[in-house]
Amino acid sequence: MNLEYRCLKCGSDKYIVKTAVIPEKSPGLKIEIGTYYVKTCLECGYTEFYSAKIVDKEFAKTKKGRRYAKATP
């Protein structure tokens, strides 16, 4: 997943990304802390939340794939 995008609501490419730590309740009444990336359009305020676990995992895959692709002629 790539955090670069155009706003789905207004089409602007101006946005800010912040990190939010939010308590989560999992089945069994266990409370955990979840980290999320919050993308907000600077033109209209449209906001999206992305799980940092998933974004970071996808970024690691893409980064490894690109490194490997560059190493092979």
Q: What is the CA radius of gyration of the chain?
A: 16
Read off the pLDDT of residues 3-52 as tens digits, 9 standing for 90 and up. 567 898 999 999 999 999 988 877 777 888 889 999 999 999 999 999 88
The confidence score (pLDDT) of residue 42 equals 94
Q: Determine the Cα–Cα distance for residues 54 and 64; give it in Å rounded to an integer.
A: 16
Q: Residue 53 above 50 pLDDT? A: yes
Q: Determine the Cα–Cα distance for residues 51 and 24; give it in Å rounded to an integer.
A: 12
